[in-house]
Chain A
Amino acid sequence: MRDWAQYTLEEAGGRTTAVITGPLLVSTIGMLDPQLRALEGPIHQVDLSGAEQVDTVGAWVIHRFAAEANAEIIGASDAALKLLDTVENSASTADISRPRSPLIGRVLENVGRKVIAFFIALGRNIAFLGAIMIAFGSVIRHPRRFRMTAVVRQMEVVGVSSLPIIGLMSFLIGIVIAQQGAVQLQQFGAETLTVNLVGRITLRELGVLMTAIMVAGRSGSAFAAQIGTMKLTEEIDAMRTIGVSPMEALVLPRILASILMMPLLGFFASCMAIIGGAVIGDLVLDIPFWTFLARIQEVVPLYDFYVGMVKAPVFGLIIALAGCYQGMQVQGNAEEVGLRTTAAVVQAIFTVIVLDAFFAMFFTEIGWA
């Protein structure tokens, strides 16, 4: 049990004295402070001779009380007087936190800021795309500046190392589509159409789309974090001062690697999903594994494959663009790197899905239904 600071009132000769006893420390002042605040009536003196130890919090409580009641402090030790003096000189009335405007105003203000920020970000993204194109053009004019090693390295990171996870994910998705599709199609006695379902949906849509989401989460975020950290540690500035363009050295290899690897990964994902579907066909629908694959060739038109492969490099560009752009926007502190990384993934996935909807309508219109 703690030894709380306490007070008693003593009257002598028409003068009221508050006698403080016990240690006046931050750990023992908790009970005394509200009591003193609630104390009514004139107090003429505060007697500190019973206070054993004093720290600045204790001194502050006494100082505030004495100043408010206009009382005189007596019996204070030298150490206590020094602290009373110190806290008196440090008194202030400043705000603790920012005053907040009313809710309606804040909501409107936030919405306004978000809208403006959206359009500014849109403009900057387009400007960034332009800067990439300029960098690409200058690399074409000066092929010596093309960084083959960096591109190959990024192709390994974006493409080769993500093969296991994308393969497993697609295989499982193929299984789910085939199994769920078969259950529904059985109701019409059309379970053999499961082959069409799996083959067309994976090559046209899901193979590339799921790959894009996975690459955005895996590589887009890595781009933003890497470039953002380099921005923080002034590596990017150092590059510029020694004449290396960060656009050519950092951004272009990542963009090219993503554009090149996305179609390959997307095709790989579609194949794995079809294999997953074929496994389910073999196990649940009694369609032999190889027959399933042979049927795919017959029922899936070649343009389904083209639909997927046309979209894939565009998605790759969008993912790398979002990652590099957000990374280059980092400034200030480490917290920003986290925020920008999140923004990169959200921006990439959102844009990919929106564009995918446009692609779907476009390809249907031109007869690739």
Chain B
Amino acid sequence: MSVATDLKDAVFGEPDNVLPEHFEGDFPIRIRGLKTAFGENVIHENLDLDVRRGEVLGVVGGSGTGKSVLMRAIIGLQPVQAGTIEVFGKDMADDDEDDEVGARSRWGVLFQGGALFSTLTVAENVEVPLKQFYPELSQQLLDEIARYKVVLTGLPEDAASKYPSELSGGMRKRAGLARALALDPQLLFLDEPTAGLDPIGAAKFDELTRELADTLGLTVFLITHDLDTLYAICDRVAVLADNHVVAVGTIPELLETDHPWIQEYFGGPRARAAVASHNRSKPLDNHQTGEA
């Protein structure tokens, strides 16, 4: 919280819903009027989105609504036709790739398939971004960092010296996460982290994400199809439809909107099953009570 808001709270009592207009700390990602297109095919038009600091934001939407494209646009892999994307208060359009303390060293990305470098072991994969950004670190320290990151993401110790092709799908995702966390990022992008995992593996990965987000103070931008993931770990959910973000909020808030896709998505049999299992399994966390 900034001094200004503290002062405002002191004067006006309870903070109202209006968040500070522009403050780096509160919105690691701010998107305004984004337009992306593949040739004639417009993916996003007039898309606005704010990601709050320290939250796990779930991004959902039907197939082809451009969830992954949105992520790629934010991290600069997808050319943007119009609009601005600010990451840590800096416009990505004029971000310099060589800037050593630029946004690139402050985010980590987990791609769908893990995208591990197949010729390197898991530990060597973790060392790649560290060597790239911080050449002054000694090899000894790099090895130590790689070791604890591997264990931190829930992999067995001996996975460090394994090659990606020797790992199962779930382990590969964890190894990808270890590499995404290599630079101790403040912002973590996860692209369908639980896709292709069995329900037990998926639940464990959800748990791990939440745990890491809490311990390391991460802001997480999480693309998912998995309703269980939404209920279990997301603070807020952004819904992509009709080329833009139609709603952002906690799941109870989203249920109050009357957008047909949202109603269908959260009102379907799978959603009801997810709610039921969520209520059964953990009454402990209160991310979804609407007070995020």
Contacts and interface: CB of A to CB of B under 8 A. Distances in A.
B219 to A, nearest CB: 14
Interface string A12-33: 0000000000000111011101
Interface residue tally of chain B, by bracket? 35 or more
Contacts of B215: 82-83, 86
Contact of A95 (B100, B144, B160, B184): B160
Contact of A96 (B118, B123, B136, B217): B123
B184 A96 contact: no
Given A55-B184, A94-B161, A95-B160, A37 B140 contact: yes
A61 B151 CA distance: 16
Contact of A94 (B133, B134, B158, B217): B158
Contacts of B161: 94-98
Contact of A34 (B127, B130, B138, B151): B138
A11 interface: no
Given A90-B152, A96-B124, A96-B143, A56 B184 contact: yes
A64 interface: yes
Nearest to B105: A27
A335 B123 CA distance: 21
Interface in B63-114: 100-101, 105
Interface string A54-86: 011100110010000000000000010011001
Interface in A85-102: 86-87, 89-98
Contacts of B101: 2, 27
B134 A91 contact: no
Contacts of B217: 79
Contact of A27 (B121, B134, B149): B134
A191 B73 CA distance: 68
A9 B80 CA distance: 52
A26 B141 CA distance: 11
Nearest to A98: B161
B278 to A, nearest CB: 26
B148 A97 contact: no
A25 B216 CA distance: 12
A77 to B, nearest CB: 12
A241 interface: no
Interface string B177-210: 0000101100000000000000000000000000
A332 interface: yes
Given A83-B215, A92-B160, A97 B121 contact: yes
B146 interface: yes
B148 A92 contact: yes
A57 B184 contact: yes
A333 interface: yes
Contacts of B130: 26
B145 interface: yes
B277 interface: no
B157 interface: yes
A33 B138 contact: yes
B165 interface: yes
Interface of A: 2, 25-27, 29-31, 33-34, 37, 55-57, 60-61, 64, 79, 82-83, 86-87, 89-98, 332-333, 335
Interface of B: 100-101, 105, 118, 121, 123-124, 127, 130, 133-134, 136-138, 140-141, 143-152, 157-161, 165, 181, 183-184, 215-217
Given A91-B151, A92-B157, 18 more contacts: A26-B130, A30-B134, A30-B136, A31-B136, A55-B216, A60-B148, A79-B217, A82-B215, A91-B147, A92-B147, A92-B150, A93-B157, A95-B160, A96-B121, A96-B143, A96-B147, A97-B124, A332-B165
